[in-house]
């Protein structure tokens, strides 16, 4: 799986362009991000809430790669950080900017 390109409001993964935020599941499924789970607490989707962390997390996850957006604004809330830390299986939460988009 390859993240080929991002622009403001889009991300292209394996030749398909999505015009919304996405989550790439462990299975390789690309799903829509549920930003409302964070917006209801913070008024913005730039802070990932504990509720959204619960939606994002999957058993077997060893690393979370969080795309920080075109303006490098997205980050974890303290509650989300604690949630991931308590899961233990998530050893690393890596925030990445646009220039660092990985090949998965």
**Domains parsed from the chain with CATH numbers:** 3-99 (3.40.1230.10)
pTM over 0.85: no
Q: Cβ(80)–Cβ(71) under 8 Å?
A: no
What are the structure tokens assigned to 24, written together? 């790439």
Q: Which residue has the higher pLDDT, 4 or 51?
A: 51
Sorted by sequence, the CB contacts under 8 Å of residue 3 that are 6+ apart come out as 11, 12, 13, 101, 102, 103, 104
Local confidence band at 93 (pLDDT 50, 70, 90 cut-offs):
low
Residue 80 CB-density burial (10 A; 0-12 exposed, 13-18 middle, 19+ buried): buried
């Amino acid at each position: 799986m390859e993240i080929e390109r991002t622009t403001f409001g889009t991300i292209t993964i394996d030749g398909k362009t999505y015009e919304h935020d996405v989550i790439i599941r462990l299975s390789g499924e690309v799903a829509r991000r549920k930003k409302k789970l964070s917006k209801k607490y913070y008024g913005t989707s730039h802070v990932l809430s504990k509720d959204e962390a619960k939606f994002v997390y999957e058993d077997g996850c060893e690393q979370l790669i969080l795309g920080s957006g075109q303006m490098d604004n997205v980050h974890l809330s303290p509650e989300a950080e604690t949630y991931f830390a308590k899961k233990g299986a998530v050893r690393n939460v890596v925030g990445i900017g646009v220039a660092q988009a990985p090949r998965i």
